Amino acid sequence: MPEPSDSPQEPPKKRGVPEGLWLKCPGCGTSVYKKEVEQRLNVCPKCDHHFYVSAADRIVQVVDEGTFEAMNEHLRPTDPLEFSDRKRYAERLVGEQKRTGLSDAAITGTGMIRARRVALAVTDSAFIMGSMGSVVGERLARLIEHATTQDLPLIIISASGGGARMHEGILSLMQMAKVSAALARYDKAGGLFISVLTNPTMGGVAASFASLGDLVFAEPKALIGFAGPRTIKATIGIELPEGFQTSEFLLEHGYIDRIVPRKHLKTEIARAIDYCGK
């Protein structure tokens, strides 16, 4: 017989659940199967909470397969003010580009939505909170001008929690007026602009082009506004209404036209284009 060992034996390791298979829903707090969430376009199967979606994934969800053609990808952000906070802005840009795979916070181009040719822009909150710097503004303005000359419906899906990008100072603030002016010319030419607001759409983006749509759609329970609720509450010193700055609150008060769940967005955009004769 073998001699008993003097050292205590380690208990057998339990087989745990592999990491990354489950997500905790911030809407209902339930652990949900990641693959099921992804199959539902990143929407919780329990409470319909709409998770973050990257700009690239958003394009896949909305645009007919193989039809999207990106525009103005050659435009790259620079550091004209040599801005620095916790790190230099030039270093921050390089880090964000490596982390997200984006060159800046907006992707623009043309494609088909249910066989209808459109000009499309999508902003991404993963890149410096989706803030609007010079490149984002220039890409949007050029897309709008292209939509004007080609008589295309214009769709902009906003996910910008950072508003104007403070790292570029006045150059960033100028983009609000530039994009809004391009939209005014597009409107004068008879164009159809559908603005889609997702969580979050805040600051200078909400205060400019995102609010100027002929039709304004929003995803359920998206945070939409200029300053955040905590900032407003601290400034005016009163309790805010329940659901303040959510899609549902804004629909009730006439700020948006319709709340559209993600799974219906592609169809609703195509239906609106047909209804408006575009």
Pairing of strands 69-70, 106-113: antiparallel
Q: In sequence order, what are the beta bridge partners of 158? A: 197
Residue 20 is predicted with a pLDDT of 74
Pairing of strands 106-113, 116-123: antiparallel
Q: Which residue do the tokens 């559908």 mark? A: 194
Q: Which residues contact 225 (CB under 8 A, 6 or more apart)?
A: 202, 206, 245
Could you state, in chain order, the average pLDDT of each consecutive group of 10 residues for the chain (278 residues)? Answer: 49 55 93 95 96 97 98 97 95 97 98 98 96 97 98 97 91 96 98 97 94 98 89 85 92 97 98 95
Residue 194 is predicted with a pLDDT of 98
Buried b (16+ CB within 10 A) or exposed e, 218-250: bbbbbbbbebeeeebeeeeeeeeeeeebbbebb
Tell me whether residue 268 is exposed, middle or buried, using C-beta atoms within 10 angstroms of its C-beta: 0 to 12, 13 to 18, 19 or more: middle
Residue 8 is predicted with a pLDDT of 47
User: What is the value of pTM for the model shown?
Assistant: 0.90
